[in-house]
Amino acid sequence: MAGFVDAVVGGGGLVQLPALLLALPSASPVQVLATNKIASVCGTAASSATYYRRLRPDPRTFGPLMLLALVGAFTGALAASQIPRQAFEPLVLVALVAVGTYVVARPRLGESTQLRFAGRRHLATAMLVGFVIGLYDGVLGPGTGSFFVFVLVGLMGYDFLQASAKAKLANLATNVGALLLFIPTGAVLWDVGLLMGAANLAGGYLGARTAVARGAGFVRAFFIVVVGGFIVRIGGGVLGVW
């Protein structure tokens, strides 16, 4: 489930992280984050390859996006054990409500690619997006793919399908960037991570094929559902419902 959701619009952490927290009650937060990254990198690799073969996204955008996303995720992972989740969740909740409201209020958003920047401004924007969202992914993670999709659509002007393709490539880089720190420290629980990774890979492949076949309208609708789920999940936590 996490691989499929993540491949279409991001947000696989909505499924995967709660499952890990329930299944591994004695694991530390860093172990849960690291194990989640091992599982996620399998799915993002499969979905990235599928999107690349079928859509051929422009490497002049996704290359810098991936590079700065990797750097940001590595930097964020350095701080992951120092910053409590409670410090981030209210901010993430506000951002998700704003994102969801903006997309619902603009039904034509992301129907077609109409780039808002060109040349160096396009490159600089892609690099800034990669670093900032990569930093968030290294520290916390859930919703990274959805934030990539939204910014690529709302700020840079891509349609939802092209944005999902680039978001997956960037998300692959953030997962690798975080693992560059997590693996040497021994934080990964390999038996759980690789088992989940195999399932995540299958879900990622199926999700990417479904998104390409169904088009931008399907991705937009799926995006709204996933963001709504995140708002309920994180909002309930912030308000103490669960």
> Quick one: pLDDT at residue 173?
96
Residue 37 to residue 77: CA distance in whole angstroms: 11
Residue with tokens 């103490």: 240
Tokens coding 9: 């619009």
Q: Specify the pTM.
A: 0.88
* Torsion angle (degrees, nearest 10) of CA 56, 57, 60, 61: -170
Amino acid at residue number 190? W
pLDDT in tens, the chain (242 residues): 999 999 999 888 878 888 888 888 898 878 988 899 999 999 999 999 999 999 999 999 999 999 999 999 999 888 876 766 666 678 788 888 999 999 999 999 999 999 999 999 999 999 999 999 999 888 877 788 999 999 999 999 999 999 999 999 999 999 999 899 889 999 999 999 999 999 999 999 999 999 999 999 999 999 999 999 888 988 888 888 87
Q: How many CA atoms are closer than 13 Å to the CA of 175, on its beta-carbon side?
A: 28
Residue 136 to residue 123: CA distance in whole angstroms: 20
Residue 201 to residue 208: CA distance in whole angstroms: 11
Domain that holds residue 62: 2-238
> Domain tally for the chain?
1
> Quick one: pLDDT at residue 195?
95
